[in-house]
Chains A and B, each alone.
Chain A
Amino acid sequence: MRFEVTRRDVMRFAGGAAIGAALSPMPWTLTDDLAIWTQNWRWIPRPSKGERSTATTACALCAAACPLEANCVGKSPIALRAAGGAQPLCSLGLTGHHLPWHPARITRPQRIERGAARPASVSIEAVVRETARAMAAARSGSGSVVVLDSRPDRSGSWAWQRLLASIEGAVVVATPGTEGSSLDALDALSSDATRLTTLDLAGARTILSFGAPVAEGWGRLSECCPGDVTLVQVEPMRSRSAELSDHWLPARPGTEGVLALGIANTLISASLVPSSVTESIADFAAYTDIVARFPLARVAAITGLAADDIALTARELAANGPTVVVAGEQPGGGPLRRSDRVAILGLNALLGSAGRIVDRAELLSPRAGEPLAPVARLESLPGRSVALLVIDASAGDVAFPWHVVDRKLASSALVVALSPYLAGTARHADFVVPTAPFLEAIHEIPSSRTEAAPALSISAPLLPAREGAIDPVAFVRMLASAGQIDLGGDWSSTESLARERVARIHAAAIGSVAQPSESASLPVASLASADELWDALAKGGRWTGDRAAANPERRVELAAGLGVDLTREVGAAQASDRTLKLVPRAARETTLTAVVSPVLSKLYRESQLRRSPGSATLSPRTAAALGLRNVRAARILTAGGSAHVSLSLDEGVMAGVVELTVAPDLIALGDAARADHRMAIDLLTPAADGSWSSIDAELVEG
């Protein structure tokens, strides 16, 4: 029989198959499985499963050292929150556990060749060799060695000072813009210049702040002055501190010093100063002469404030004492000009609160009696003199314009950075040594200059350090052995030095430890061993030493510090009608770190809560005057260069001012680095004294 498949056969077979299939579970389960398949793409990440636990440590992301509690799954933190009823964390702290996985994280030393498209990995030996060579050259007189320290007073800072002790002219310098660096001006005013001073905020009833982010963790205001404190904030923009203040005085950028002198003028002419002032201000007559040049009407015209407001503020400061006047660093804007700071800080003496200028009680160093290189200020270094610059950003970064440092570098200078990330200041280095980030290693959080009492917290790691991370103290040791420098002792890591310091604090039995979820502080004297003290600190505790006593004998000299620029140049005509005052703007916490969690894009990119990185904001009136009313993209021109910015208009910005968002930059937010990437903050050119709080700029379309 010939077998021929006909169309009809196929149809019959298919019909049978269709009925058979319908009578089997196949189509029904297949439909179910397919539906589920579309809900489970393999590229959708899955949270890890595991045992839940909690751990406490201290946040190492800023000097506030908030105690935090981590919720962990299988020992890996999935959420951070303030431990034991402490002040809730900021956005940076809440996402701190993301940072070890930031896209800019590096685990191998990098060499950044000028002009090369991307950095190349090198061996740590090569970095040590090159650095030691530059160090040896500096010893034989090719230039100086400078270490930029973003968080002074750490054990790591001490290790650098110890290493540099044998090199003449080598110094450790606080990174420009480090919190509290404005208070440097106090040291110079003081009759006893050998002692470091600070302001004691404790017990103040009124705080007059010039740009300091006092309501945002600066100087731990919430802890030292709980309750009833009146905050008067002088700032050209409505920052978060301005928003939270009782009175906001929006003085034109760059006129802060004049405002201080205007307030002084009112205080003196209305006889609101205590009689003892002639003693506490050594050159009172000369100071009065300068102040007399700033009558209320002139100050009002220069600052753009109402004369009545200034007079009222002056009266309030005198009536509602004790008053502390602080000159701080605007986030991203660094310190004000030096003469402005003198005018501002001098008000403390004028208000009779000279006692609030206190000697800064020093934090014990890890080891006693060893030779140390001095701590210096960057401005005091001659230009083009630095042959080797080490940027220690292992404990955080500070946003500052590179020009500030660049002009101190010799043409062939070597720049080496220590940082967990190829971001922030480290991007300016020739070599970057990878260090372990927050939560992967011991970090020390000493008190900053804004605190009157010495303090120390230890941030204990909750995660194992990723392979490749190099301890900054171990790096110092490597440099010492490469350069045949004898450092003495057997310390070899941050932890070993930090433990030595904690042992010294324990032996001295000073101060007490505040622990999260315990209301009473634990006196150090009551602890049986240094290890007990260490454990209390590693679990989020903060050790605080004794507050330095106020020194009522202190005399300050003001007239000399007020300088030429303040008395003559203020109010000088602008270069042209198109010239604007460029004011850097950022949230405080983002200026203290090289990277932020990419999740903060919720605030910067996916909503208009915070201006996106590199964007410029000006008032609609100013924009109209410049013909930029309907312009979205613009170019900003400064002496430091030009850059494309996106323009937004906001009635909340002062006329004639352009606010530039300088932190976080795009790489800090997690974007891939482009070879031509330029940080917005580098547009700012510093004044002769190294300040960049406001500069001249022009905006053009395009």
Chain B
Amino acid sequence: MESAETTLARYGMVIDLDRCNGCGACATACAVENNVPPANTSATERTGLTWLRVQRVSNGRQFPQNRAVYIPISCQQCGEHTPCVSVCPQNAVDVNPETGVVSQVPARCLGCRYCMAACPFHARYFNWFDPKWPDGMEATLNPDVSIRMRGVVEKCNFCHGRWQAAKAKAAANGARDIDPADYVPACVDACPEKAITFGNLDDPRSDAARASKSANAFRFLEKLGTDPKVYYRSDRAWVRRLADADVTARESEASRG
């Protein structure tokens, strides 16, 4: 039998922070695509479940010079020393060599949350509650993504169900490699400002690879050396200076003190 070699890809995205206006459509589309349940009534920002969370960070100046930047943060898909992979006692996390996507198999997860502590981007979420939809709304669930139970960790996987569907489509026609047009994560699809460019970073012809090398592109916490595959770009210097900050904590600091 022939060998099953496919072209290896390293999927990533470049998010243009100057285009993002904080409408939240990406986060909504993500929850719909990935069967993320509505918040439990006692859920808070800390116990919430959002594979993609849009952080609002202000420039700290007074009104009307005050400006905000909206930063969509999902799993940054670290390629090197992937912190969550190295700490998982359960082998529930790995890096898919075919896509570069950091996986999370919730059925295998035992809920120790070590990976959450290890993740520098706070992009992993724990199921503090049973997944619950209003009666009948189960009919709207996406069969391509499994439902996670209480007590396990989950996170963004670049809409892996869509990659699998693209892969199956290619395979049905005898091809090993997918058509890039068939694999677009839900957030990218939903952005009304076309702020997110997605593609194979190893393919020099892809828009994402080009955008990731453009001037004013940066990654968060690059100094940690985890080689994230989610890039950001902004022409505003104060926004680029956020790269070394923990933006997930800034909002409450800015508003409180």
Contacts and interface: CB of A to CB of B under 8 A. Distances in A.
A and B, direct touch (CB closer than 8 Å): yes
A89 interface: yes
Contacts of A49: 143
A521 interface: no
Interface string A38-53: 0101011111110000
A613 B36 CA distance: 21
Interface in A587-641: 587, 597-603, 605-610, 619-621
B62 A46 contact: no
A517 to B, nearest CB: 15
A98 B137 contact: yes
Interface centre among A102, A601, A650, A651 (most CB of B within 10 A): A651
A248 B138 CA distance: 43
Interface in B95-126: 107
Interface stretch (A281-289, A498-506, A652-660, A685-693): A652-660
B221 interface: no
A103 interface: yes
Contact of B63 (A43, A250, A587, A602): A250
Interface in B178-198: 189-192
A94 B63 contact: no
Contact of A91 (B23, B47, B68, B252): B23
Given A88-B192, A91-B24, A94-B32, A47 B43 contact: no
Contacts of A97: 140
Interface in B142-158: 142-143, 145, 147, 149
A73 interface: yes
Contact of A76 (B45, B55, B131, B139): B139
B25 A94 contact: yes
B163 interface: no
Nearest to A48: B139
Contact of B190 (A73, A89, A650): A89
Interface string B32-54: 11011111010111011110011
Contacts of A202: none
A272 interface: no
B133 to A, nearest CB: 6
Contact of A609 (B32, B54, B132, B190): B54
A39 to B, nearest CB: 5
A229 interface: no
A605 B43 contact: yes
What's the interface size class on B, roughly? Answer: 35 or more
Contact of B251 (A240, A587, A597, A608): A608
A87 interface: yes
Interface string A122-159: 00000000000000000000000000000000000000
Contact of A651 (B21, B61, B132, B134): B61
B192 A87 contact: yes
A608 B66 CA distance: 17
Interface in A70-90: 73, 76-79, 81, 87-90
Nearest to B134: A103
B22 interface: yes
Contacts of B63: 250, 619, 651-655
A652 B189 contact: no
A192 interface: no
B174 interface: no
Interface residues of A, number: 61
A76 to B, nearest CB: 5
B58 A651 contact: yes
Nearest to B149: A44
A609 B22 contact: yes
B44 A608 contact: no
Contact of A605 (B25, B39, B191): B39
B136 interface: yes
B142 A651 contact: no
Given A48-B138, A606-B45, A601 B38 contact: yes
A95 B147 contact: no
A43 B44 contact: no
Contacts of B36: 599, 602
A101 interface: yes
A651 B60 contact: yes
A618 to B, nearest CB: 10
Contacts of B58: 650-652
Contacts of A103: 134-135
B64 to A, nearest CB: 5
B68 A238 contact: yes
B140 A98 contact: yes
Nearest to A607: B53
A49 to B, nearest CB: 6
Contact of A79 (B135, B142, B147): B142
A648 interface: yes
A143 to B, nearest CB: 39
Interface string A164-186: 00000000000000000000000
28 contacts: A44-B149, A45-B141, A46-B147, A47-B147, A76-B140, A77-B140, A94-B25, A101-B135, A101-B137, A101-B139, A103-B134, A238-B68, A240-B22, A248-B64, A250-B64, A599-B28, A599-B38, A601-B39, A601-B43, A603-B28, A605-B43, A605-B45, A606-B50, A607-B53, A608-B55, A609-B53, A610-B24, A670-B134
Interface of A: 39, 41, 43-49, 73, 76-79, 81, 87-91, 94-95, 97-98, 100-103, 238, 240, 243-244, 248, 250, 587, 597-603, 605-610, 619-621, 648-655, 670-671
Q: What are the nearest 7 A-B pairs in CB distance?
A: A606-B48, A598-B38, A601-B39, A47-B141, A101-B137, A47-B143, A91-B28
